[in-house]
Amino acid sequence: MEPDVFEPLLQSVREFVRGRLVPLEKQVDEEDRIPDELVAEMREMGFFGLSIPTEYGGLGLTAVEEARVAFELGWTSPAFRSVFGTNTGIGSQGILIDGTDEQKRTYLPRMASGELIASFCLTEPQSGSDAASLQTRAERVDGGYRLTGTKRYITNAPRAGVFTVMARTDPNQKGASGISAFVVDAASSGLSLGKPERKLGQRGTAVCDVIFDSCFVPDAALIGGVSGKGFRTAMKVLDRGRLNIGAFCVGTAERLIDEMVRYADARVQFGKPISDFQLIQAMIADSEVEKEAALALVLQSARLRDDLQPIVKAAAMSKYYASEMVGRVADRAVQVFGGAGYIAEYCVERFYRDVRLFRIYEGTSQIQQLVIAREVLKEHRQ
Ligand SMILES: Cc1cc2nc3c(=O)[nH]c(=O)nc-3n(C[C@H](O)[C@H](O)[C@H](O)COP(=O)(O)OP(=O)(O)OC[C@H]3O[C@@H](n4cnc5c(N)ncnc54)[C@H](O)[C@@H]3O)c2cc1C
C-alpha cells in the first residue's frame, strides 16, 4: 500500500481502537460477548480482510503493514481482535496459501468482507503440541470424504460459517504425511459444536469443540486438491499466525507500559509519586527495553516474509519472545499497581489474565523453543 493510503488507515485504526474499543473493554470482559454493532463497524473498516489480497476483496497488507496494524490493535483487549482474527489469520490462510483457484474465489471474498467467519481446526483432545498425531479420520467415499473425530478449543467455532480442518486421509501413515486439509461448511450434516468453554481470560472470544460424525465433504473441499499435504499447510498457516501474535503482544506491552507510567505518576507514597522510586523505574525500564526488542524482532521477521524468505525460525522467535515478554510486562504492571493491580476495577488485572493465552496457543513456548533449536542446529550443521 502507498504510504499516503496506509498511514491514514493506520491512524483510523488507532482512533477506533482508543476511542471506540477501549471504553468497551470492561463491558466485554463482564458480559463475555462482543456487541453486534461493533462487529458491523469492524466490517465497515475492512478489518476482516486485512491480510486477504485485494483481488479477493481484502486490503492486501504486507506482513510489515499487518504487523503495524497489530501493534495498534494490541493496545486493547484481544477479544476484539478475535472477532476477525481467524479470518485474517488461521481461518483463511490455508486456502490462501495452498487452496485451488476455485476455493479462493469461493471463500476469500466472503471472508474478507466479514460475511463468512472462518475457523481453524487442528487441535484434538489427544493431540495438541503433537499435532502430527491427530486422529480425526477422513475416509474416502464416493464423491468425497467422510470426516469423523473431535477438534478441541476451536476459536470462533460458534460464529464460524466455514472451518479449515486437518484430518487423516491415510490411516496407514501415522505421522504428518497421512494428513490432509479440508475446507468444511459449518452447515454440513454430521458437524456439531460442543458447549462454549469458560476461560481464564480473553472473555468475549468464543471457543468450543467441533465434532464430526461421519460428516460428508465433497472432493472439492480438499485444500489444493491434493491429499497428504495438510500438515504442511497447517504449519505454513501457523508461521504467519505466530508473526501476528508476536506483533499483537508488542501492542499490548505498549498499553501496559502506558498504564504503569500513568499510575506510577499519580500514586503517592512516602510523600512522592511512586514513579520517583528507582525500583519502580527499574520495572518500567525493563518493560520498555523488552517491548522494543520484541518490536524489532517482529518487524525483522515480517520483512523476511515480505521478501519471501523462510520464516519458520523468525516467526517462532517472534511469538516466543513477544508472548513471554508481554507476560513479564503484565506481571510488572500488576506489581506497579500494588493492591489495585489485583482488583478487577483496573485494566491491568484483566490484561494479566488475557495475555496468558499467548504463551499457549498456536504453539506453546516450549514448542517454539524446539522449533528455534531445530532450525539453529540445522543451520550450524550445514
Ligand atoms: C483459548 C484457546 C483457543 C484455541 N484456539 C485454537 C484454534 O482455533 N484452533 C486449534 O486448532 N487449536 C486451538 N487451541 C489449541 C492450542 O493451540 C493448544 O492448546 C496448544 O497447542 C497446546 O496443546 P495442548 O493444550 O494439547 O497441550 P499439550 O500439548 O498437552 O502440552 C502440555 C504441556 O506440555 C508441553 N509439551 C508438549 N510437548 C512437549 C515437548 N515435546 N517438549 C517440551 N514440552 C512439551 C507444552 O508446552 C505444555 O506446557 C486453542 C487453545 C485455547 C486454550
Verify that 152 and 51 share a domain, yes or no. Answer: no
Number of C-beta neighbours around residue 244 at 10 A: 30
Verify that 97 and 134 share a domain, yes or no. Answer: no
Verify that 220 and 265 share a domain, yes or no. Answer: no
pLDDT tens digits, one per residue of 233-271: 999 999 989 999 999 999 999 999 999 999 999 999 999
Verify that 263 and 141 share a domain, yes or no. Answer: no
Q: Is residue 362 annotated as part of the catalytic site, yes or no?
A: yes
User: What percentage of residues in the chain have a pLDDT greater than 90?
Assistant: 98
Q: Which domain holds residue 73?
A: 3-113
Verify that 212 and 325 share a domain, yes or no. Answer: no
The full DSSP string for 254-273 is HHHHHHHHHHHHH-EETTEE
The one-letter amino acid code at 319 reads: K
Residue to mutate, 129, 156, 179, 231, ligand 1, most ligand atoms under 8 Å from C-beta: 129
Cα of 266 vs centre of ligand 1, distance in Å, is 40
Closest residue CA from atom 25 of ligand 1? 128
The CATH number of residue 215's host domain is 2.40.110.10
Verify that 243 and 362 share a domain, yes or no. Answer: yes
- Of all atoms in ligand 1, which is nearest to the CA of residue 121? 11
Contacts of 149 (CB under 8 A, 6+ apart): 124, 134, 135, 136, 137, 167, 212
Res 1: pLDDT: 82
What pLDDT tens digit does each residue of the chain (382 aa) get?
A: 888 999 999 999 999 999 999 999 999 999 999 999 999 999 999 999 999 999 999 999 999 999 999 999 999 999 999 999 999 999 999 999 999 999 999 999 999 999 999 999 999 999 999 999 999 999 999 999 999 999 999 999 999 999 999 999 999 988 999 999 999 999 999 999 999 999 999 999 999 999 999 999 999 999 999 999 999 999 999 998 999 999 999 999 999 999 999 999 999 999 999 999 999 999 999 999 999 999 999 999 999 999 999 999 999 999 999 999 999 999 999 999 999 999 999 999 999 999 999 999 999 999 999 999 999 999 999 8
Residue 153 Cβ < 6 Å to ligand 1: yes
Verify that 36 and 160 share a domain, yes or no. Answer: no
Contacts of 368 (CB under 8 A, 6+ apart): 242, 316, 317, 319, 320
Helix count and strand count (H, E) for the chain: 12, 9
Verify that 275 and 220 share a domain, yes or no. Answer: no
Cα of 264 vs centre of ligand 1, distance in Å, is 36
Q: Using the structure block, give the residue that is written with the C-alpha cell 504467519.
A: 240
Question: With contact defined as beta carbons under 8 Å apart, do 96 and 52 qualify?
Answer: yes
- Of all atoms in ligand 1, which is nearest to the CA of residue 363? 21
The CATH number of residue 50's host domain is 1.10.540.10
The one-letter amino acid code at 198 reads: R
Res 212: pLDDT: 98
Which residue among 59, 82, 113 closes a domain? 113
Catalytic residue chosen out of the listed positions 259, 290, 349, 362 = 362
Cα–Cα dist 12/18, whole Å: 10
Which residue among 82, 98, 113 closes a domain? 113
Res 291: pLDDT: 98
Which residue among 205, 228, 251 closes a domain? 228
Q: How, if at all, do strands 137-141 and 144-155 pair?
A: antiparallel
Closest residue CA from atom 2 of ligand 1? 153
Verify that 65 and 166 share a domain, yes or no. Answer: no
Cα of 342 vs centre of ligand 1, distance in Å, is 27
Question: With contact defined as beta carbons under 8 Å apart, do 47 and 88 qualify?
Answer: yes
pTM: 0.96
Verify that 104 and 25 share a domain, yes or no. Answer: yes
- Of all atoms in ligand 1, which is nearest to the CA of residue 156? 8
Verify that 157 and 251 share a domain, yes or no. Answer: no
Residue 129 Cβ < 6 Å to ligand 1: yes
Structural domains of the chain, count: 3
Verify that 370 and 260 share a domain, yes or no. Answer: yes
Res 2: pLDDT: 87
The full DSSP string for 14-74 is HHIIIIIIGGGHHHHHHHTS--HHHHHHHHHTTGGGTTS-GGGTS----HHHHHHHHHHHT
pLDDT tens digits, one per residue of 147-204: 999 999 999 999 999 999 999 999 998 899 999 999 999 999 999 999 999 999 999 9
Residue 207 Cβ < 6 Å to ligand 1: yes
Cα–Cα dist 313/89, whole Å: 19
The CATH number of residue 290's host domain is 1.20.140.10
Res 225: pLDDT: 96
